[in-house]
């Protein structure tokens, strides 16, 4: 594991964007696993700048996102599809038809999970998976549990996650109680993993995840078993 500590959020964003840019430059048809949340916003902004400057070309890239809230359509401004369209896809030259987010409105989320895993498999897996981390150690929406779940699956959000994500909604009651998330199989089979964490409040969970025991109670701790993980952490 490479553990990079930086001084500021801006530095974190630059580092992460450079790692993603390097991936796309070396392999223009990369499959990028992408994440939502406030942490990757700076990274996405930098990638858009690089693309605008002609330094990175996303024309041949495919993206697969980690997760989506249940019941939110892509045009809902709280959906993760909306987040990705507006914070990244519209600002780079990626082909929107090659950007995938699980469908949180699928009637049968179990079936949607199977479809999503099949899609990732048919793409040849993920070349680089970008991850944030929740305060309870969740990655994607893989919440603390008795077991690590392999497949893309429906989850009940942890009360602490609902609390943490309420800041994006008008009220806590509006935060969906369920979501669909990529499971540990697609994440762990990614060739490279880049996890970004920002802020003093993430320090404890980052320490537990990468330097403590591997347990499904701290979902990110499974990443200790991955052969190519880079963590970029800023205490700002
Ligand atoms: C959400 C997402 C996660 C993300 C987490 C942390 O719950 N499903 O993928 O890592 O938020 O978000 P933030 O970066 O805002 O702390």
Cα-to-centroid distance, 171 and ligand 1 (Å):
18
The number of folded domains in the chain is 1
pLDDT at 51 over 80: yes
The domain that holds 40 is classified in CATH as: 3.40.50.1360
Question: Which residues pair with residue 129 across a beta bridge?
Answer: 33, 193
- Determine which residue's CA is closest to atom 3 belonging to ligand 1: 140
Cα-to-centroid distance, 36 and ligand 1 (Å):
6
Task: Using only the alpha carbons of the chain, give its radius of gyration.
Answer: 16
Q: 111 is in which domain, residue-wise?
A: 2-234
**Residue whose C-alpha is closest to residue 178's, from 75, 72, 81, 36:** 72
Parallel, antiparallel, or unpaired for β 178-181 and 67-69? antiparallel
How large is the average pLDDT for residues 225-230? Answer: 98
104 alpha carbon, distance to own chain's centre = 16
pLDDT at 235 over 90: no
How large is the average pLDDT for residues 187-193? Answer: 98
Q: Which atom belonging to ligand 1 lies closest to the Cα atom of 140?
A: 9
State pLDDT tens for residues 56-77.
Answer: 999 999 999 999 999 999 999 9
Check: CB of residue 9 under 8 Å from CB of residue 236. yes
Which two tokens mark 169?
A: 């909604």
Which two tokens mark 213?
A: 């025991």
Lowest mean pLDDT among 48-52, 100-104, 137-141, 167-171: 167-171
The pLDDT of residue 55 = 97
Residues of the chain with pLDDT > 90, as a percent, come to: 96
pLDDT at 236 over 80: no
State pLDDT tens for residues 207-217.
Answer: 999 999 999 99
Question: Which residues pair with residue 153 across a beta bridge?
Answer: 181
Q: Which residues line ligand 1 (CB under 6 A)?
A: 35-39, 66-67, 132-134, 140-141, 161, 165
How large is the average pLDDT for residues 35-57? Answer: 98
């Amino acid at each position: 594991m490479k553990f990079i500590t930086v001084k500021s959020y801006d530095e974190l964003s630059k580092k992460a964007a450079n790692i993603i840019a390097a991936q796309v430059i070396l392999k223009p048809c990369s499959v990028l696993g992408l994440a939502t949340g406030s942490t990757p916003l700076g990274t996405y902004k930098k990638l858009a700048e690089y693309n605008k400057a002609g330094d990175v070309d996303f024309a041949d890239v495919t993206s697969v996102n980690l997760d989506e809230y249940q019941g939110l359509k892509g045009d809902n401004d709280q959906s993760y599809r909306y987040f990705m369209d507006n914070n990244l896809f519209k600002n780079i030259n990626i082909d929107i038809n090659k950007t995938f987010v699980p469908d949180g409105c699928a009637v049968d989320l179990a079936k949607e999970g199977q479809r999503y895993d099949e899609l990732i498999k048919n793409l040849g897996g993920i070349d680089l998976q970008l991850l944030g981390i929740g305060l309870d150690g969740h990655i994607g929406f893989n919440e603390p549990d008795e077991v690590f779940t392999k497949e893309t699956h429906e989850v009940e959000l942890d009360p602490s996650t609902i609390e943490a994500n309420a800041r994006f909604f008008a009220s806590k009651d509006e935060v969906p109680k369920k979501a669909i998330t990529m499971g540990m199989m697609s994440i762990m089979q990614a060739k490279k993993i880049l996890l970004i964490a920002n802020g003093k409040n993430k320090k404890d969970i980052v320490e537990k995840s990468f330097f403590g025991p591997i347990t499904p109670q701290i979902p990110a701790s499974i990443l200790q078993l991955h052969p190519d993980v880079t963590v970029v952490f800023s205490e700002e």
